[in-house]
Amino acid sequence: MRKAYSALVFSYGCQIDKLLNIPGENLKGVYSAREFVEWYNGLPSASTLNPNLDCEDVVILGQGNVAIDVARMFLSPLDELRKTDISEYALDKISKSRVKRVHLVGRRGPLQAACTIAELRELTKLPNCFGIITHQEVEFLREKIKELPRPKKRMMELMLKIADSSIDNKIDFQKQWSLSFFKSPLEFLPSEENPDQLGKIRFSLNKLKDNIAYPTGETVELSTNLAFRSIGYRGVGIPGLPFDSERGLIPNKNGSVINERGLYCSGWIKRGPTGVIATTMNDGFETAKTILEDINSSRIDITSDQLGFDGLANSLKDIKVKPLNYQDWSKIDMIETQVGTAKGKSREKFVDIQEVFKLLDH
């Protein structure tokens, strides 16, 4: 690729998830939120996950926006999900699931919850769905709230409102979700009937000091056959490219890969797995600006006769790889959209890569 192009931008995100590294993490019923998200989004490599959703209580470990995304898949009305580009098999499986209660458990307190207010508010608006926050866990906020900066203050007001309505509202809703704080998972325990299957999760109760969670020595257990680890993503390196394995990203200065002329990065692999779409856009603008500066200062040479995609295609032909080009992508896009429209949804994605090859005659 370096022979074909003057500048290359690596923008491939973070594709693996962090592990808790606690006993029982391999039990059946313990899934990573990443693979679940990939499954319902129809990523071919995750299409065979086939999670067992046959239980009433789901525990999600972590309180970031991915945790909220996963919760919403179980709590949203099926008619709403049906209109999205969710894969057909996932919709079918979720529609048959018995899940009634979704517990989102965080190791620190409400002030440190990683989700954003818009996403939390979406949860509170779900029809036939009741949110619970235990009063004892958020009561201390009433004292603190005045001193908080405005965005945090609004988030804490929302949490207190949820806690208040948790007491008042006695209506029997179809589904429930809860945010629960100060609990770190210690161990996944097998069910009594099946030693391979998750039966409960043991948590340590925590207290905070300088924003860090420390165990109090007390523990609690939650019974469940289904848990999702949603504690963040990690980037992986590419052979031959500098990589900071400690932080899981490509070392760079404003998007320019350290000590590598003509190589750039953008997005999560540049900055780590944080931030919403707008953050990633701004990050892309910064990398583009760096490339322009390097062109203007002749740090990279764009006048040479490098062949770009044609050059790359020639090299790929030599190793018998047929690349997908933009026309191919457009064809896939067109078919997915057509099939989706016929079903009243935004798109129906291909989940079998062989079908894509057949369509493109590869």
Residues at the contact surface with ligand NAP, assessed by CB under 6 A? 20, 61-67, 69, 106-108, 112, 114, 116, 119, 184, 230-233, 273-276
What is the number of other CB atoms lying within 10 angstroms of the CB of residue 138?
21
- Give the Cα separation of 352 and 335 in Å (integer): 14
DSSP one-letter string for 53-109:
--SSEEEEE--SHHHHHHHHHHHS-HHHHHHTT--HHHHHHHHH----EEEEE-SS-
CB of residue 15 to ligand NAP, shortest distance in Å: 12
Q: Exposed e or buried b for every residue in 5-22, given b needs 16+ CB within 10 A?
A: bbbbbbbeebbebbebeb
Query: Given its phi and psi angles, is residue 221 left (phi above 0), alpha (psi -120 to 50 degrees) or beta?
Result: beta
Question: Measured from the CB atom, is 66 or 160 closer to ligand NAP?
Answer: 66
The single-letter code of the amino acid at 266 is: S
CB of residue 115 to ligand NAP, shortest distance in Å: 7
- Give the Cα separation of 234 and 68 in Å (integer): 19
* Sheet containing 101-105: order of strands: 30-32, 226-229, 57-61, 101-105, 175-180, 129-133
CB of residue 284 to ligand NAP, shortest distance in Å: 16
**Which residues lie closer than 8 Å to 101 by C-beta, 6 or more apart?**
56, 57, 58, 175, 176, 177, 178
When CB distances to ligand NAP are compared, the closest residue is 64
CB of residue 44 to ligand NAP, shortest distance in Å: 21
The single-letter code of the amino acid at 11 is: S
Question: Measured from the CB atom, is 108 or 263 closer to ligand NAP?
Answer: 108
- Give the Cα separation of 34 and 294 in Å (integer): 36
CB of residue 131 to ligand NAP, shortest distance in Å: 17
Question: Measured from the CB atom, is 47 or 206 closer to ligand NAP?
Answer: 206
The single-letter code of the amino acid at 321 is: V
Question: Measured from the CB atom, is 7 or 24 closer to ligand NAP?
Answer: 24
CB of residue 171 to ligand NAP, shortest distance in Å: 28
- Give the Cα separation of 151 and 164 in Å (integer): 20
Question: Measured from the CB atom, is 22 or 295 closer to ligand NAP?
Answer: 22
In the numeric block, which tokens belong to residue 333?
């896009």
Question: Measured from the CB atom, is 35 or 328 closer to ligand NAP?
Answer: 35
- Give the Cα separation of 286 and 294 in Å (integer): 12
Question: Measured from the CB atom, is 41 or 134 closer to ligand NAP?
Answer: 41
The single-letter code of the amino acid at 278 is: A
Nearest to 112 by CA among 148, 69, 72, 77: 148
CB of residue 118 to ligand NAP, shortest distance in Å: 7
CB of residue 210 to ligand NAP, shortest distance in Å: 13
CB of residue 246 to ligand NAP, shortest distance in Å: 15
Question: Measured from the CB atom, is 5 or 229 closer to ligand NAP?
Answer: 229
Question: Measured from the CB atom, is 204 or 290 closer to ligand NAP?
Answer: 204
